Structure 1
Amino acid sequence: MSSQRAQSLTSAARWLRRPRPGRQPAVRLLCLPHAGGSTSLYRAWPGLLPSAIEPVLVCPPGREDRLDDPLPQDMDGLVAGLAEAAAGLLDRPWAVFGHSMGATVGHELVLRLLKDGHRAPEHFFVSAREAPQYHRGGTVHLMDENALADELVRLGGTPPELLEMPEVRQLVLPVVRGDYRLIETYQASPAGPVPCPVTALIGAQDDELTAEEAAGWERWTTGAFQLLAFPGGHFYLSDRPDPVVDVVRRRLLSGA
């Protein structure tokens, strides 16, 4: 095995977790987490998806066993590393599901992989994220530790008692700050639409975005588009993953 090939395999193993690897799945589904998030967002999905769909969970730098890996300084750096890691799995049909910041990263990732000559994805799922034309920056990454922890609690998805533990704050908050800095300073000017159907999913009680902002993703596909709302807030898919996974399954296996 060449050193270049070995390096590529190592990169893929660091970025991508395959809890249920399949040699010939009908489709591989890349699952991207939110700002500060990890593969735990999708912990229930391997047990809910049928064997024809292989979940591939993205683990960005700075979390889980990548605590010592430097955080990307901008969107291009993040997407470049992820694209290199994912390229080896695109021998099968593939799709992307991105939640919140992960949806924006997913859009840029699809465009990067297409530019590199890979096949188009079967579907792109954007969850709890406004379309690029509605992108707004922010100053969350400039907050002090207490305010940053309060913001995580407000959004949900992070148990408040965890953030009361100094050792957890020391691990979590720098990653959250880095991700927020990346997405809040991101200049939303994607190269174009994706050549596949797009499904936008939102929590009906999510006060982070409006249905109009999510519906704006229709501009960024040359295929079919649908907007779906589920009960819950920004982390609606954590509270009730089953109906979300069912939508993914139907879109990928039956085209419904």
Structure 2
Amino acid sequence: MSEATHHPSTWLQCAVPVADPRWQLVCFPHAGGSASFFRDWGHHLPGVRVHAVRYPGRAERLAEPVPTDLRELARATADAVAALPGVPDLPLVLFGHSMGAAVALETARALEARGITPAHLIASGSRDAAYPPPEPATEIDEDDEVVTRLITLGGTDPELAADPVFQELVLPYIRGDSHMFHSYLPRPEPLLRCPVTTIVGDDDPDADRRPWSELTGGGFREQRVPGDHFYLVPEPPYALVLNSVAAPAEH
């Protein structure tokens, strides 16, 4: 990863400013995703200042190298989150979708190591289960396979995915995210202190699998919602996010 500044404005996008928030939400995009995926969330979460993580190598940071180490990405994100106004005084919730859930996990660990305990971690597109066997890193090396995978998961419009300009700009960081995620070796510790909620579609065969209930001492619950891996495109889980601060997870 480049030596880009860890200033919050580089790493975090707040599309809807909130002058006096009750708490803050940091959203971590999926593999191949960008901060724009969450650009409207601030309009639907009253009293919440919503920040979306700007991963390097895409959108406003297209000129930077694509991340290769998930923990390094998480540590840099944690540096930016820790520098946000209101941290650690305001409650802080982390929301990660799919690969973003793993980045949120490692960011929460990095924050807790410096004495900042999030109020909640929400792992979307992920379920509480044993880790799956490792997949070969070459599984989606070919461009056609990457495009097919995007369309199958439901996160990208087929017409857009077929556009040559889209492919030239987007495929490098989608492929890079895939390699980074596949080379990430999970560790059972350090145990989180914050509670964890998973949100998984009831028709999602591609859900990330992670033993979340064993990764935290702060309580755990799993929420099932209608939909597939990208259930949150037609039905963002705003109510579940709002309840995450008010309702403690089960132990």
Regions of 4+ moved over 4 Å: 130-133
Percent of matched pairs sharing the same residue: 34
CA distance in 2, matches of 1:189, 1:40: 30
> SS of the residue aligned with 1:238?
coil
Q: For residue 3 of structure 1, what is the aligned residue in structure 2?
A: none
CA distance in 2, matches of 1:140, 1:229: 31
Change beyond 3 A, Cα 1:43–1:146: same
- 1:34 equivalent in alignment to 2:5: no
Q: Does the CA contact (< 8 Å) of 2:143 and 2:171 recur in 1? A: yes
CA distance in 2, matches of 1:205, 1:142: 23
Q: Does the CA contact (< 8 Å) of 1:137 and 1:186 recur in 2? A: no
Change beyond 3 A, Cα 1:25–1:140: farther
What is the RMSD computed on CA atoms of the aligned residues? 2.0
Alignment of 1:176-255 (within 5 A): 176-209=174-207, 213=209, 216-241=211-236, 244-253=237-246, 255=248
Normalising to structure 2: TM-score of the pair?
0.89
- 1:149 equivalent in alignment to 2:147: yes
Alignment of 1:81-230 (within 5 A): 81-89=76-84, 90-91=87-88, 92-115=90-113, 117-130=114-127, 133-138=130-135, 139=137, 142-209=140-207, 213=209, 216-230=211-225
What is the one-letter code of the residue matched to 1:36? G
Structure 2 unaligned segments of length 5 or more: list them.
none
Q: Does the CA contact (< 8 Å) of 2:120 and 2:196 recur in 1? A: yes
Change beyond 3 A, Cα 1:104–1:56: same
- 1:54 equivalent in alignment to 2:49: yes
Q: Does the CA contact (< 8 Å) of 2:125 and 2:201 recur in 1? A: yes
> SS of the residue aligned with 2:232?
helix
Structure 1 residue 232: Cα displacement: 0.7
> SS of the residue aligned with 1:134?
coil
What is the one-letter code of the residue matched to 1:22? V
> SS of the residue aligned with 1:237?
coil
1:4-25 alpha-carbon deviations (Å, 9 max, x no partner): xxx55xx321110012233542
Q: For residue 63 of structure 1, what is the aligned residue in structure 2?
A: 58
Normalising to structure 1: TM-score of the pair?
0.87
CA distance in 2, matches of 1:185, 1:179: 10
Q: Specify which structure has the higher proportion of helix.
A: 1
Q: How many residues align?
A: 241
What is the one-letter code of the residue matched to 2:164? P
